[in-house]
Amino acid sequence: MNFQLQWLSPVQCFVVFDLPLATQYEVLLLRYWIGLLQNEWKDQLLEIQSEPRGILLFFSVKMAKKTTEKRLEKTWQKTIGQKEMRFQSWVFPLLWDHSDRGDLFQYFKGDPSQLQAYQEQFVAQPLYAAFYGFMPGFVYMGGLPPAMRLARKDEPRLQVPAGSVAVGERYVGIYPQVSPGGWQLIGQTPIALFDRNRSPAFFLAPGDRILWKSVSASEMKYWQQQYNNLPQSSDDAILL
């Protein structure tokens, strides 16, 4: 991955990637790199905002452009020299929407074979946390194959229930609170991605793997009754 620097001001620098991040490995590289940059500039760096096209650095003091570029290159070379990238794998329960008014039913025009095939493929497909956006706790999950991507709705809903699992083109998301939304709703999960009363309030880190497990209505009710209900997780890594 190559990058270029765009200085928005003497204290704001946008590091632009040559290509948008498109894999779990690339997201994990960025996560590690950000950690190095935070340590490198711990006294001058106020914040780092990331997205698929790059990272935006906010400094507390005016930065020398040449020195900044050298430090970025040095820490990037250290990043790509790592032999493994560690992350968490999470298993999310998913209650499918089987109603004839549901988005998935409407999308496949009620064809039971297509509905079943999509559900089976979905729970068999590992995703990864790509980036946060839209609202607090909304995680854009990447890794959905082109054949499983669903076009956004022509007219967004004014209210999407909290916990709704949805597909919008190449991404999958979970609505953390009631809000408008134009993605195709496929079911519900009892897992709250954002809870200010929980520690941590956000538990998914960029690059974490997300797996899905279909559950029944009774299993969903059990999950909803649990306090601080985080999904099952395990340590994992990509070895290089």
Residue 222: half-sphere exposure toward Cβ, Cα within 13 Å: 8
Query: How would you classify the pairing of strands 209-214 and 84-96?
Result: parallel
The three-state secondary structure class of 141 is strand
Q: Which residues contact 152 (CB under 8 A, 6 or more apart)?
A: 168, 169, 182, 183, 184
- What's the pLDDT tens digit per position in 136-156? 889 999 999 999 999 999 999
126, 221 contact by CB (below 8 A): no
The whole-model pTM stands at 0.92
Say yes or no to pLDDT of 207 above 90.
yes
Whole-number Å distance between alpha carbons of 223 and 190: 6
Cβ neighbours of 112 (radius 10 Å): 9
Angle at 58 between CA 56 and CA 61, to 5 degrees: 145
Q: Average pLDDT, whole number, for the chain?
A: 93
User: Is residue 42 a contact partner of residue 26, using CB atoms and an 8 Å limit?
Assistant: no
Round to whole Å and give the CA distance between 187 and 170: 17
What's the distance, Cα to Cα, between the start and end of the chain in Å?
Answer: 16
Q: Which residues contact 184 (CB under 8 A, 6 or more apart)?
A: 103, 104, 107, 150, 151, 152, 153, 166, 167, 168
Domains in the chain with CATH codes? 3-82 (3.30.1360.40), 87-239 (2.40.100.10)
For residue range 155-189, what is the model confidence (pLDDT) as tens digits?
999 999 999 999 999 999 999 999 999 999 999 99
